[in-house]
Structure 1
Amino acid sequence: MAAILAIDADALPVDPLWLVERLRDGHRRGIGEVERLLLEEPGTANGLLTWTAWQPGKALGAKLAAVFPGNEARGAGPTVRSVVVLFDGQDGRPLAVITGESFTRAKTAADSALGADLLARPDAATLAVLGAGAQAETQIRYLLAVRSSIRRVAIWNRTAEKARALAAALALPGIEIAAVAEAEAAVRAADIVSCVTASRDPVLRGAWLKPGAHVDLVGSFTPEMREADGEAMRRARLFVDTRRFAVGHCGEFTQAIAAGAIAAQDVVAELAELCTGTPGRRSAGEITLFKNAGGGHLDLMVARAVYDLAAGQA
């Protein structure tokens, strides 16, 4: 049996546009079978997510992700730590074990970037990012990759020092990057708003969104977590990476549906449908909202891309 590759994703340089295109191609080829299991530690926000996916005849795999939202505040390391196992789809051979925090960060950012590429205005010039945790830097880099028109990035975080540190670390030629004190002001000026928090209370208010804005919601993955209020959901045309996980498991949808602000049927399309021809944005003034809920199919697509890169097959 061929050796199983041990891949450290943190040591493997990945071009954002290349990975976004791998995701786009993966959605066009078909998702296959996907399952999700969440175990939660009672009395805490800690969880263990298990994502599994199978693209028949191509590949199958599983990702286990330990999510500890309090880690960064305690100086205990990143919020998410994961390991991915990739198997061959023809004979079930284990091909690779993939570790490294950058795997999930890149997968998450590429998912959002593909959504933004399909939905955000092509002339988007200003990006507002709410949240300055471990995911934020990768999120910014991937969104900038698909919208080279962006010239200003405003970063807000409940802990202002973290926003300032992130802004200082992101020195990008031709782009103004600044920490801001008020989320509202940043959102009101933004063409794209990306929320990357672990919040249980909305950090984004729909009343702040300007016509033509695109909203990227990343942080929530349980019914109790929520980054956007019901007004944001009501005002926007709604899109998701997968209906099953976004509508059924993420608080923006579960809570807004329970309150009568939206209905499950208001979701226009999921990412695979957008990638295969379903129209997205209809006008320059329309507000679009994309919920990045994740899914094992995304991890499988990225695992296959990372394996190909590490094996010299990309």
Structure 2
Amino acid sequence: MRVITSAEIDQVVTFPHLIDALAEAFRSDIETPVRHHHEIEREGAHGTLLLMPAWSGPKTKDGFVGVKVVSVFPDNGAKNLPSVLGTYLLMDGATGEPRAALDGTRLTLWRTAAASALAARYLARPDAARMVMVGAGSLSPFLIRAHLSQRPIREVALWNHRFERAENEAAQLQAEGLPVTAVRDLEGAVREADLVSCATLSTAPLIKGAWLKNGAHLDLVGAFNLSMREADDEALQRGDVYIDTHAARSEGGDVALSLQSGAIAASHVKGTLFDLCRQDKSQRRHAEAITVFKSVGTALEDLAAAMLVWRKLPHTA
């Protein structure tokens, strides 16, 4: 069994290829059972173990079985360790033989950003030129690169609640030749944006619907539980809302919370990534329509990304 590091993943994956691989996966017959969630009792903050399996359908050529194992230990910061760690186990679809163990944390960053850009392929205006990235965490550089691969974005405004972190990240991305500038005025940046991507842990809405200009696309990636929120009800009410999977109706913040409160009706959610990929055409009603995409993640994306990495890596005889 091969161990595949984050550096090796970075060497072989590009967003155009990964986004295409995800699109094909959402059109395929990959099985994704409900993920397993287990609490691990410990002194201090309890840990969590997440198991996310998926496998190719029986008629799939060169199929695979995979499972992502994620551990969440909130007290790890005191030990200079990330609180969230993950590994992806990829197995042969015909025999179950283990093929590879991949860096699950890195794989998740790539596939999460690719899923957002895949949605934007169908929902954002083709001429989207100005982007706002809300949040300067580990996911934001991936989201910026992913969206840049799908739309002719000329300017990226990067906002973070700690401005110095946005400045540091913007400088690093500028050094790569990316058009990223740190900003302090979130409202002003959003009012001018064609595409707004959010990846934060905010517990209160950061994006107000009143700020979104006609034709804007809003990408909501953070707010992974019901105590978090990145956009207010008005943002969802003004937009044509799409979600990655039906789980987003009850998991994560934003869409699930607006549905629970009655701020939006179930019929306000127009479809999923499955629908977008299988229809395979722009779902914008008109140029001035506002669109919204909310993701909570799915094991299908992990499997598709792991399969792409495996196929792209050179293998010795």
CA-CA distance at 1:169 after TM superposition: 0.5
Pairing 1:283–2:286 present: yes
CA offsets 1:84-122 (integer angstroms, 9 cap, x no match): 011122121111111153211101111111111111000
Instruction: Provide the rounded CA distance (Å) in 2 between the counterparts of 1:46 and 1:152.
Output: 40
| Partner residue, 2:67 | 62
- SS in structure 2 at match of 1:65: strand
Instruction: Provide the rounded CA distance (Å) in 2 between the counterparts of 1:36 and 1:62.
Output: 10
| Partner residue, 1:30 | 29
> How has the CA–CA distance of structure 1 residues 229 and 276 changed in structure 2, closer, same or farther, with 3 Å as cutoff?
same
CA-CA distance at 1:282 after TM superposition: 1.3
Q: Is the 8 A contact 1:65 1:83 kept in 2?
A: yes
Instruction: Provide the rounded CA distance (Å) in 2 between the counterparts of 1:155 and 1:8.
Output: 29
CA offsets 1:129-148 (integer angstroms, 9 cap, x no match): 1100111111101110111x
CA-CA distance at 1:30 after TM superposition: 2.8
CA-CA distance at 1:48 after TM superposition: 3.8
Instruction: Provide the rounded CA distance (Å) in 2 between the counterparts of 1:82 and 1:55.
Output: 21
- SS in structure 2 at match of 1:104: helix
Match of 2:171 among 168, 171, 191: 168
CA offsets 1:278-310 (integer angstroms, 9 cap, x no match): 651111100111112101111111111111112
Instruction: Provide the rounded CA distance (Å) in 2 between the counterparts of 1:71 and 1:154.
Output: 32
Q: Is the 8 A contact 2:45 2:74 kept in 1?
A: no
| Partner residue, 1:53 | 54
Match of 1:7 among 1, 4, 11: 4
Point out where structure 1 has 5 or more consecutive residues left out of the alignment: none
| Partner residue, 1:16 | 15
Number of residue-to-residue matches in the alignment:
307
| Partner residue, 2:99 | 95
| Partner residue, 1:107 | 111
Structure 1-normalised TM-score? 0.89
> How has the CA–CA distance of structure 1 residues 75 and 140 changed in structure 2, closer, same or farther, with 3 Å as cutoff?
farther
Instruction: Provide the rounded CA distance (Å) in 2 between the counterparts of 1:280 and 1:300.
Output: 26
Q: Is the 8 A contact 1:79 1:134 kept in 2?
A: no
CA-CA distance at 1:254 after TM superposition: 2.3
- RMSD of aligned C-alpha atoms? 2.5
CA-CA distance at 1:75 after TM superposition: 9.5
> How has the CA–CA distance of structure 1 residues 81 and 269 changed in structure 2, closer, same or farther, with 3 Å as cutoff?
same
Percent identity for Structure 1 against Structure 2: 40
| Partner residue, 2:142 | 138
- SS in structure 2 at match of 1:225: coil
Match of 1:81 among 54, 69, 85: 85
| Partner residue, 2:307 | 304
> How has the CA–CA distance of structure 1 residues 79 and 105 changed in structure 2, closer, same or farther, with 3 Å as cutoff?
farther
Instruction: Provide the rounded CA distance (Å) in 1 between the counterparts of 2:201 and 2:46.
Output: 9
Instruction: Provide the rounded CA distance (Å) in 2 between the counterparts of 1:77 and 1:182.
Output: 33
User: 1:199-214 residue pairs with structure 2 within 5 A?
Assistant: 199-214=202-217
Structure 2-normalised TM-score? 0.89
Q: Is the 8 A contact 2:159 2:183 kept in 1?
A: yes
Instruction: Provide the rounded CA distance (Å) in 2 between the counterparts of 1:134 and 1:216.
Output: 16
Q: Is the 8 A contact 2:240 2:290 kept in 1?
A: yes
| Partner residue, 1:179 | 182
Structure 1 residue identity aligned to 2:297: G
| Partner residue, 1:116 | 120
| Partner residue, 2:158 | 155
Instruction: Provide the rounded CA distance (Å) in 2 between the counterparts of 1:45 and 1:116.
Output: 37
Q: After the TM superposition, which of the residue ranges 46-55 and 160-169 deviates more from structure 2?
A: 46-55
> How has the CA–CA distance of structure 1 residues 306 and 214 changed in structure 2, closer, same or farther, with 3 Å as cutoff?
same
Q: Is the 8 A contact 2:255 2:294 kept in 1?
A: no
CA-CA distance at 1:50 after TM superposition: 2.4
